[in-house]
């Protein structure tokens, strides 16, 4: 399982894009994610907007198969 925190600054900031335009950043991101998935890993992503309600991130991690502490199958 792979979890990725993904901010939006890389789309807006020329400095963070490494010479790519926003479309190039998206294409690179999709190619990286495809490579990660090709290993058989489950990939989950979240950003700053998700952290205001961490229960949503926790639910996403549970759907990806991360066991919850204190969870005993019931």
Q: How far apart are CA 57 and CA 74, in angstroms?
A: 21
DSSP states along 30-56: HHHHHHHHHTT--EEEE-HHHHTTHHH
* Between 60 and 72, the higher pLDDT residue: 60
**Above 80 in pLDDT, residue 22?**
yes
**Above 60 in pLDDT, residue 74?**
no
pTM: 0.65
What's the chain's average pLDDT? 85
Kindly state the average pLDDT of the residues 16-38: 90
**Above 90 in pLDDT, residue 39?**
yes
Q: How far apart are CA 49 and CA 39, in angstroms?
A: 28
Q: How far apart are CA 22 and CA 16, in angstroms?
A: 10
Contacts of 59 by beta carbon, 8 Å cutoff, 6+ apart: none
Q: How far apart are CA 61 and CA 5, in angstroms?
A: 12
């Amino acid at each position: 399982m792979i979890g990725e925190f993904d901010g939006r600054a890389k789309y807006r900031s020329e400095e963070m894009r490494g010479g790519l335009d926003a479309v190039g950043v998206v294409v690179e991101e999709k190619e990286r994610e495809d490579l990660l998935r090709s290993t058989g890993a489950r990939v989950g992503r979240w950003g700053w907007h998700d952290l205001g309600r961490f229960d949503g991130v926790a639910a996403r991690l549970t759907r990806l198969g991360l066991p919850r502490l204190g969870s005993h199958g019931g």
